[in-house]
Chain A
Amino acid sequence: MTVLFRRSEMHSLAAPYALDALEPREHQRFEKHLKRCDSCAAEVRLLREDAVRLAWNTAAPAPAAMRNRVLMAVRTTPQEAAPGQTALGPQPHPRAAQQPLPGMRAQRPRPSRLHGLLSPLAATTAAAALVVAALFGVQASRTQDQLDQERTQAREIANILAAPDAAASAGQVANGQSINVVASASERAAVVTPAGLGRPTNGRVHQLWLMRPEVQPRSLGLFDGDTPLLATDLNPDATSLAVTVEPQGGSPQPTSAPVVQLALNSVGFGE
């Protein structure tokens, strides 16, 4: 491969780079160069600060409805681990072990994939589309089957979030372990997102249960890392959700006390 840019030419790309004015291939090449060139990095940082000043006179109030949509979406969206953090660290971040997230690095190809994904969702709300975007934004490369399955699930999640009676609730537990719930009584369904649960040791799993008065708990499935769990066919008399630690593969009935329990009355259940 020939050297396409001399050093000085590469250097002259700093200003266009700071203004996001490079073509994709130049952008990549320049970022590669930046890693090896300390003086360039310092200059780019300065030029970027200058460019950001141009945003000073563009601020405008965001549409009021946007706030709720974003905050709702945040409740069901897993976070990326800090760069360089791994499960081997002395104090692993609860999410670090579960999300290597190779997909996150490749930001640029994302919109096109999302485009096809979001179009069937045109009828649902923007919040729903956002969550779908978030779910698929963090997926690594998958087989077509897995993708189809995730897409179906994402669509069902979108439906719940779009329901007129969708309501959110978050469990609060002292040790930082919690679950967030967005539920719709009319859809009889909920999206349950683990927050800080981590993964139990020794191959055990976190299992989610639906609790009802005078009935045995019903399993709603096993958590896989921070991925939200879709719970359907929820009984209207359900009183709470509970998470227990169970042996690999889960149990027919809970074998231990819940690590997290969340009442459902605030989200329209328990009548």
Chain B
Amino acid sequence: MQADELLVLVAKGDQKAFEDLYGLVSGPVFGLVRRVVRDPAQSEEVAQEVLLELWRSAARYDPGRGSALAWVLTLAHRRAVDRVRSARAAGEREMREAQRASGPAFDQVAEEVEAGLEREWVRRCLDRLTALQRQSVTLAYYDGYTYREVAERLSLPLGTVKTRMRDGLTRLRECLGGAV
């Protein structure tokens, strides 16, 4: 069964459907959270909370407004970003920066996982963006920075960052459109 159908059953309290849904989305959820949060223990914590939140609030999913996986990953991303920001605010920033600086810029998480076609395409399409588009998008999405922080880090005006984000996402759409 597809995640969309499962989520509808989960909203009715179907625990078996939740187990199946877990099988489908736990990898994408955990991977995305870890990409943003980095710290393995915290990533696990956030991923667990997200998965439990799926159970709790499955009724909020509206199949007319997009795929279930997109809904799930949007939720996971928001929680991951919340966590990484409060961790930064709590003064873990320096430590985290050090961790980041020591690792490869893009793909330290990916290596353990089989290289899928989609993975390959995202990378290819990111490569086709201009450097500023790519940095604006990835600093926000993968590293959890606000656009104001991105502007500061790239020494760009706010308006430029907002435009680069939009252009970057649009170009990604054009590039990835055929790869679904």
Binding site for B on A (CB under 8 A): 12-16, 18-23, 45-63, 66-67, 69-71, 73-75, 77-83, 85, 93, 104, 108, 111-112, 126, 129-130, 133-134, 137-138, 170, 195-196
Evaluate whether A55 and B32 lie within 8 angstroms (CB atoms) in the complex, with A20-B77, A112-B86 already known: yes
Closest to B148 in A: A23
| A19 lies within 8 A of B70 (CB) | no
- Chain B: minimal CB distance from A35 (Å): 14
| A15 lies within 8 A of B52 (CB) | no
**Which residue of A12, A66, A71, A85 contacts B18 across the interface (Cβ within 8 Å)?**
A71
- Chain A: minimal CB distance from B37 (Å): 11
**Which residue of B120, B138, B173 contacts A46 across the interface (Cβ within 8 Å)?**
B173
Evaluate whether A79 and B55 lie within 8 angstroms (CB atoms) in the complex, with A19-B140, A22-B147, A45-B66 already known: yes
Q: Beta-carbon contacts of B123-166 to A below 8 Å, as 1s and 0s?
A: 10000000000000110111011111010000000010111011
Residues of A within 8 A of B15 (CB): 71, 74-75, 170
| A53 lies within 8 A of B59 (CB) | no
Q: Which of A16, A66, A71, A78 has the most CB of B within 10 A?
A: A16
- CA–CA, A45 and B123, complex, Å: 23
- Chain A: minimal CB distance from B68 (Å): 11
Question: For the complex, is B19 an interface residue (Cβ under 8 Å from A)?
Answer: yes
| B27 lies within 8 A of A15 (CB) | no
- Chain B: minimal CB distance from A127 (Å): 8
Closest to B53 in A: A137
| B48 lies within 8 A of A57 (CB) | no
Residues of B within 8 A of A111 (CB): 82-83, 86
- CA–CA, A43 and B47, complex, Å: 28
Evaluate whether A77 and B56 lie within 8 angstroms (CB atoms) in the complex, with A20-B140, A50-B170, A58-B109 already known: yes
Closest to A78 in B: B56
Evaluate whether A56 and B122 lie within 8 angstroms (CB atoms) in the complex, with A47-B166, A79-B58, A82-B59 already known: yes
Q: What bracket does the count of chain B residues touching chain A fall in? A: 35 or more
Q: Which of A15, A83, A196 has the most CB of B within 10 A?
A: A15
Residues of A within 8 A of B148 (CB): 23
Question: For the complex, is B100 an interface residue (Cβ under 8 Å from A)?
Answer: no
| B56 lies within 8 A of A79 (CB) | yes
- CA–CA, A23 and B152, complex, Å: 14
Query: Among residues 52 to 76 in chain B, which have CB atoms less than 8 Å away from a CB atom of chain A?
Result: 52-53, 55-60, 65-66, 69-70, 73-74, 76
- CA–CA, A74 and B53, complex, Å: 9
Residues of B within 8 A of A73 (CB): 48, 52
Binding site for A on B (CB under 8 A): 11, 13, 15, 18-19, 22, 26-32, 34-35, 44-45, 47-49, 51-53, 55-60, 65-66, 69-70, 73-74, 76-78, 81-83, 86, 109-110, 112-113, 116, 118-123, 137-138, 140-142, 144-148, 150, 159, 161-163, 165-166, 169-170, 172-173, 176
- CA–CA, A82 and B150, complex, Å: 37
- Chain A: minimal CB distance from B163 (Å): 7
**Which residue of B29, B118, B162 contacts A13 across the interface (Cβ within 8 Å)?**
B162
| B55 lies within 8 A of A74 (CB) | yes
Q: Which of B32, B113, B118 has the most CB of A within 10 A?
A: B32
| A70 lies within 8 A of B82 (CB) | no
Residues of B within 8 A of A58 (CB): 28, 31-32, 34-35, 109-110, 142
Residues of B within 8 A of A83 (CB): 59-60
Residues of A within 8 A of B123 (CB): 57
- CA–CA, A265 and B121, complex, Å: 53
Residues of A within 8 A of B28 (CB): 55, 58-59
**Which residue of A22, A61, A81 contacts B30 across the interface (Cβ within 8 Å)?**
A61
- Chain B: minimal CB distance from A112 (Å): 7
**11 CB < 8 A contacts A-B:** A12-B162, A15-B165, A20-B140, A21-B141, A23-B146, A45-B66, A56-B116, A66-B30, A66-B47, A70-B48, A111-B86
Residues of B within 8 A of A52 (CB): 69-70, 73-74, 77
- Chain A: minimal CB distance from B139 (Å): 9
